Amino acid sequence: MYFGEFQDLRNLNMPNSHDFDLYEGYYSEFQVTILCDKEAVNPADSLKGLLTGLGVDVTTVSEFTDVRVDSELVVVLQAEKCGEAFNTYAMEKGIMWLPVQFSHSTGRIGPIIVPGYSACYECAQRRSSSNGLAPLEPKNEMFDLSWSVLSGVIAIETAKWISRHTSSFPPLSLGHMIDFDAFHLQGEVNPIYKLPTCPSCGTRNQARLGAQPWRESDLVLGQ
């Protein structure tokens, strides 16, 4: 469904761009897991359909223990409910994941979390709170079209991440949180930095103080 849009990007012939990730069948090399509550108002169906349409091998699970640790990325829906618990689990297992929070028509996507390198989910929550960003409250209803729009954004961010080694289009959610109101079609992108005092991943909570040499380019280029 979305392959045509990626093909249009290739036809732009942008300087220094690589289009190895745009040929049909490329995404079949990757496996993505979607963690989703079966009773949630924002189901995984639309996101799974978009990724499957690209050829991605998608597995949908509802339990932490069913998540494939070899997934190129785990997309965690309803992170507003289970984000903190999964953050601990992902750090123990070394799972790369993308938290997605959603409330009625507003979503928060990211940041992509790479244990040991990037800011963790607790870093993101504490940074957001210190900047006056109110938490999204889970609701029992949603605006369906808004979730469809957000699913498209999540699918694009996922595709950018799994093709990061061959593409010149790194995901915006790497090192950033995308706050988007899909009903009014407006939002903002906020940088998220690793928090030295984070109780989950901060270096000040370890036996020694250590440098944090993480750079976004290292994750994209695999250096």
What's the predicted TM-score (pTM) here? 0.80
Q: How confident is the model at residue 41 (pLDDT cuts 50, 70, 90)?
A: confident
Query: What is the distance between the terminal CA atoms of the chain, rounded to a whole angstrom?
Result: 33
Instruction: Determine the pLDDT at residue 17.
Output: 42
Tell me if 176 sits within 8 A of 191, measured CB to CB: yes
Mean pLDDT for 158-167 is 88
> Can you give the three-state secondary structure of the chain, one letter per residue?
CCHHHHHHHHCCCCCCCCEHHHCCCHHHHCEEEEECCCCCCCCCHHHHHHHHHHCCEEEEECCHHHCCCCCCEEEECCHHHHHHHHHHHHHHHCCCEEEEEEECCEEEECCCECCCCCCCHHHHHHHHHHCCCCCCCCCCCCCHHHHHHHHHHHHHHHHHHHCCCCECCCCCCCCEEEEEECCCCEEEEEECCCCCCCCCCCHHHCCCCCCCCCCHHHHHHCC
Task: Give the closest residue to 114 by CA, choosing from 100, 97, 135.
Answer: 97
Q: How confident is the model at residue 211 (pLDDT cuts 50, 70, 90)?
A: low
pLDDT digit string, tens, across residues 84-117: 999 999 999 999 999 999 988 889 999 999 998 9
Cis peptide preceding 138, ω within 30 of 0: no
Look over the chain and give the mean of its residue pLDDT values, rounded to a whole number. Answer: 82
Length of the chain (residues):
223
Instruction: Determine the pLDDT at residue 167.
Output: 75
Q: Which residues pair with 190 in a beta bridge?
A: 177
Instruction: Determine the pLDDT at residue 3.
Output: 38
Say which residues have a Cβ less than 8 Å from residue 200's Cβ, sequence separation at least 6: 87, 88, 91, 120, 121, 122, 123
Domain 31-205 adopts which CATH fold?
Rossmann fold (3.40.50)
Instruction: Determine the pLDDT at residue 28.
Output: 77
Amino acid making up residue 11: N
Domain ranges of the chain: 31-205
Tokens read off for 18: 């690589």
Nearest-5° Cα angle at 223, 122 to 170: 65
